[in-house]
A and B are shown apart, each in its own frame.
Chain A
Amino acid sequence: MTDQAYNFAYLDEQTKRMIRRAILKGLAVPGYQVPFASREMPMPYGWGTGGVQVTAACLTPEDVLKVIDQGADDTTNAVSIRKFFQRTAGVRVTESTGEASVIQTRHRIPEAPLREGQILVYQVPIPEPLRFLEPREAETRKMHELEEYGLMHVKLYEDIARHGEIATSYAYPVKVEGRYVMDPSPIPKFDNPKLGDCPAIQLFGAGREQRIYAVPPYTQVVSLDFDDHPFVASKAPHDCDLCGADESYLDEVIIDDAGGRMFVCSDTDFCAGRQAAGHRGRLSPAEVV
């Protein structure tokens, strides 16, 4: 049931049009941060208000929505955003990546390959990849305009000088379509290769910072690196203890006071699907015959 006190998907039509214009501009200039007038949403900034506004502007009554937080559909954050759109838009919701037409995410790209027609909406805390070394907004804007991206490599240089390797493992900077350097939001660098040549539309919303940017389908996205320290999409060197998957991104979970640990897929839908299909891991329950 839709809550009649609100317009469809909470935002008024004029606001949605404004956000859609920003999204279209972002799609036309891949990786470019488009300013937009972020609205107050009935949730705190840390809860992904940028992503929520982008999702609100994209949703139609026919859409099927999936919301994940660190790959999981059942965290407080994911549940409350999903409920929010059930209540304000009345759309169908799902936990299945394949069934969803719109997926709002925090910190992950689903393991299942995305397809044409799907929209992946990222929640972004800090959209500006140059921010940490150049705090002046006017200067970072100029750097983007003039393609002065040497500073990004200074950050990677500092990483190697300090840790012996590029230690950046989240929000790993990328260059989009050979032009704009972009922060892919705090996804693990394991997910970076999925950003490029993706059939789905990828939209990024930063609420507090009032920026929207986008990667249209089948766009080239390259992770920055050095010739002698090439980018590696690393993950924990284990298989999932529940489904046995050897190429999914894993969370490490402490399972007892003795320091026992297990590794499980961070993408809960992916893991559940594999288990349902009979795949088994090291700690799967004994088979009932």
Chain B
Amino acid sequence: MGVVEADMRAALDQPLLSVTGLTKRYGARIGCSDVSFDLFPGEVMGIVGESGSGKSTLLSCLAGHLVPDEGQVTYSGRDVLAMAETERRRLSRTEWAYVHQNPRDGLRMGVSAGGNVGERLMAVGARHYGEIRGAAADWLGRVEIAADRIDDRPSAFSGGMQQRLQIARNLVTGPRLVFMDEPTGGLDVSVQARLLDLLRGLVRDMGLSVIIVTHDLAVVRLLADRLMVMKGGRVVEQGLTDQVLDDPQDAYTQLLVSSVLQV
């Protein structure tokens, strides 16, 4: 094996995101506590747990929207928490993406669909209108939004379309790491299924690394390679998705999987 190949192999063996002892408190209340895990390139990790278990808090800390009280986050060898804000915000416009549960939080409702998708391109320096519009049209197609809706505002879109638009807007710059907080929440069941199929295709085609928060076990079964179960801010079990779902070790996970618990 040549030196270059050895380096590449080594890079693939390195986690893309490495989290150690992450803790976030809201005053006396625990948001999440002592969370540790590694995410490898191309991996999809699901985070499940009942409402209030700390999933969103954890995701916000990872994406830099919240500052944790303790712990370390390393992205691609870089200490995320020690990073200058400029650098972190640049990462979140280029290599990272964040899909909010409510598309209104992740879209500019007063800007056309094309402008919403084009914004990230312009944010990283794209200055050719024709090329920006072309990329926006291409991405609308990839998320199954008709080309003739490119100049419409998202307020004229259905919930499912808004969510697909938010995904296009996030993926247009070809990020490596995507954070998703309940991306199918609040949608009709049939709309959810279509969105999940779409997401699965995009994740596979783009080789994305994903951390997806959900309370829906069907979502993680379909998308996630690995699964982390949270309760009361702590991780109670983690492992390969099939293993955790088919042979849960933790008592809480067993309840969750047996659907005794309505999460």
**A residues neighboring B (CB under 8 Å):** 133, 146, 148, 150-151, 153-154, 157-158, 160-162, 226-229
**Most B C-beta atoms less than 10 A away, residue of A154, A160, A227:** A154
Is there contact, CB below 8 Å, between B151 and A151?
no
Contact A153/B110 with A158-B115, A162-B151 known, Cβ cut-off 8 Å: no
26 contacts between A and B (CB under 8 A): A146-B86, A148-B89, A150-B93, A150-B119, A150-B120, A150-B124, A151-B119, A151-B122, A151-B123, A153-B126, A153-B127, A154-B108, A154-B115, A157-B114, A157-B115, A158-B111, A160-B129, A161-B112, A161-B114, A161-B150, A162-B112, A226-B128, A227-B127, A228-B129, A228-B130, A229-B129
Bound Cα distance A151, B122 (Å): 8
20 further contact pairs, Cβ within 8 A, besides A153-B127, A154-B119, A229-B129: A133-B110, A133-B111, A150-B93, A150-B122, A150-B123, A151-B123, A154-B115, A157-B115, A157-B118, A157-B132, A157-B133, A158-B115, A161-B112, A161-B114, A226-B127, A226-B129, A227-B128, A228-B128, A228-B129, A228-B130
Bound Cα distance A137, B132 (Å): 28
Q: Is B85 an interface residue (CB 8 A)?
A: yes
Which residues of chain B are within 8 angstroms of A229 by Cβ–Cβ distance? Answer: 129
Residue of chain A at shortest CB distance from B129:
A226
Top 7 A-B residue pairs of the complex, sorted by shortest distance between their CB atoms: A150-B123, A153-B122, A150-B122, A226-B129, A227-B128, A146-B86, A154-B119
Which residues of chain B are within 8 angstroms of A226 by Cβ–Cβ distance? Answer: 127-129
Q: Kindly provide the distance from the CB of A175 to the nearest chain B CB, expressed in whole angstroms.
A: 12
Number of A-B contacts (CB under 8 A): 56
Contact A154/B130 with A133-B108, A133-B110, A146-B86 known, Cβ cut-off 8 Å: no
Residue of chain A at shortest CB distance from B113:
A161
Residue of chain B at shortest CB distance from A152:
B122
**Most A C-beta atoms less than 10 A away, residue of B86, B108, B110, B127:** B127
Is there contact, CB below 8 Å, between A157 and B129?
yes
Count class of interface residues, chain B? 20 to 34
Bound Cα distance A63, B107 (Å): 52
Bound Cα distance A150, B93 (Å): 11
Which residues of chain B are within 8 angstroms of A133 by Cβ–Cβ distance? Answer: 108, 110-111
Q: Kindly provide the distance from the CB of A178 to the nearest chain B CB, expressed in whole angstroms.
A: 14
Contact A161/B133 with A133-B108, A146-B86, A154-B115 known, Cβ cut-off 8 Å: yes
Which residues of chain A are within 8 angstroms of B112 by Cβ–Cβ distance? Answer: 158, 161-162
* Interchain CB contact (< 8 A) of B115 among A146, A161, A227, A228: A161
Which residues of chain B are within 8 angstroms of A153 by Cβ–Cβ distance? Answer: 122, 126-127
Q: Kindly provide the distance from the CB of A200 to the nearest chain B CB, expressed in whole angstroms.
A: 30
Which residues of chain A are within 8 angstroms of B132 by Cβ–Cβ distance? Answer: 157
Q: Kindly provide the distance from the CB of B78 to the nearest chain A CB, expressed in whole angstroms.
A: 18
Enumerate B56-111 residues with CB–CB distance to A below 8 Å. 85-86, 89, 93, 108, 110-111
* Interchain CB contact (< 8 A) of B85 among A146, A154, A157: A146
Is there contact, CB below 8 Å, between B129 and A154?
no
Is there contact, CB below 8 Å, between A154 and B111?
yes
Bound Cα distance A151, B127 (Å): 12
Produce 1/0 per residue, B122-145, CB < 8 A to A.
111011111011000000000000
Bound Cα distance A176, B130 (Å): 26
Q: Kindly provide the distance from the CB of B219 to the nearest chain A CB, expressed in whole angstroms.
A: 31
Which residues of chain A are within 8 angstroms of B115 by Cβ–Cβ distance? Answer: 154, 157-158, 161
Residue of chain A at shortest CB distance from B132:
A157
Bound Cα distance A146, B85 (Å): 8
Which residues of chain A are within 8 angstroms of B133 by Cβ–Cβ distance? Answer: 157, 161
Which residues of chain A are within 8 angstroms of B118 by Cβ–Cβ distance? Answer: 154, 157
Is there contact, CB below 8 Å, between B122 and A161?
no
Contact A148/B122 with A133-B110, A157-B129, A158-B115 known, Cβ cut-off 8 Å: no
Is there contact, CB below 8 Å, between B122 and A154?
yes
Which residues of chain B are within 8 angstroms of A160 by Cβ–Cβ distance? Answer: 129
Which residues of chain B are within 8 angstroms of A154 by Cβ–Cβ distance? Answer: 108, 111, 115, 118-119, 122
Bound Cα distance A136, B28 (Å): 30
Which residues of chain A are within 8 angstroms of B122 by Cβ–Cβ distance? Answer: 150-151, 153-154, 157
Q: Kindly provide the distance from the CB of B161 to the nearest chain A CB, expressed in whole angstroms.
A: 18
Residue of chain B at shortest CB distance from A132:
B110
Bound Cα distance A226, B120 (Å): 15
Which residues of chain A are within 8 angstroms of B93 by Cβ–Cβ distance? Answer: 148, 150
Q: Kindly provide the distance from the CB of B227 to the nearest chain A CB, expressed in whole angstroms.
A: 35
Bound Cα distance A153, B115 (Å): 9
Q: Kindly provide the distance from the CB of A173 to the nearest chain B CB, expressed in whole angstroms.
A: 13
Produce 1/0 per residue, B31-75, CB < 8 A to A.
000000000000000000000000000000000000000000000
Residue of chain A at shortest CB distance from B116:
A154
Which residues of chain A are within 8 angstroms of B89 by Cβ–Cβ distance? Answer: 146, 148
* Interchain CB contact (< 8 A) of A148 among B123, B128, B130, B150: B123
